[in-house]
Amino acid sequence: MKNEIKNFKKQNLVETKFVHPVRLTYTQNGKNKSWEAVQSFDSVSVLLYHEELKSFLLVKQFRPPVYLNDVTKTFTYELCAGILDKEASLEVIVQEEIDEECGYKVPLKEIEKITSFYTNVGVSGAKQYLYYATINESMKSHEGGGIGDEEIELHFLKVNEAKAFIYDESKVKTPGLMFAFYWFFEKKKEEKK
């Protein structure tokens, strides 16, 4: 993946597709208050464990909002994920995202729900549903990388390197990814030995 970003500009949004800036007003304990927020889609994410490589499969991609706040942080490491913008079960959307982003065909029965939580509670408060799936090379159907103009790089991280990765501040990662690693170490690691 190229590490070249050019012509980075910021402009105020008028018409939006995925996020909608709003001002919220309300009364709390007798005081009038206001808050700026963004309405956005809920999402799914999935921790993928590659059993033959004894590694987690992460996606690495350019995230403009991170770059806006720190131009030295060009790429993020994330779980495979996608927004809930269509009528389908959560598990079907997870299955489609694994195929689109990572190139693996995972049977629905192999997709396990972990939990759900709210992300970016001070700005959007969107809900994310977290899943887990084990993959292997027999499920590989194509190279992955996303669809359309998505530029997603696959990154295999050895399980025995994941704890150090969590605390490596040079790697931009999401709290959901770090939580998923801890869940794996608590719930799944003994099964994978």
From residue 89, alpha-carbon distances to 62, 108, 188 in Å are 28, 10, 25
pTM of the model: 0.88
pLDDT at 104 (0 to 100):
98
Residue 4 burial by CB count (10 A; 0-12/13-18/19+): exposed, middle or buried?
exposed
The whole-angstrom separation of Cα 29 and Cα 134 is: 48
Q: In the predicted model, is pLDDT for residue 10 greater than 80?
A: no
Q: Do residues 30 and 166 touch, judged by C-beta distance below 8 A?
A: no
Q: Which residue's entry shows tokens 């809900």?
A: 127
Its domain, for residue 81, covers: 42-192
In a domain, 109, yes or no: yes
- What average pLDDT is seen over the chain? 92
For the segment 34-64, what is each residue's pLDDT rounded down to a tens digit?
888 888 899 999 999 999 999 999 999 999 8
pLDDT at 38 (0 to 100):
87
Give the 3-state secondary structure of residue 38. Answer: strand
In a domain, 4, yes or no: no
In a domain, 30, yes or no: no
In a domain, 28, yes or no: no
* 80 Ramachandran zone, left/alpha/beta (phi>0; psi -120 to 50): beta
pLDDT band for position 151 (cuts 50, 70, 90): very high
pLDDT at 192 (0 to 100):
57
Task: Report the number of distinct structural domains present in the chain.
Answer: 1
In a domain, 178, yes or no: yes
Average pLDDT over residues 58-77: 92
Beta strands at 55-62 and 75-78: parallel, antiparallel or unpaired: antiparallel
Q: CATH number of the domain that 158 lies in? A: 3.90.79.10
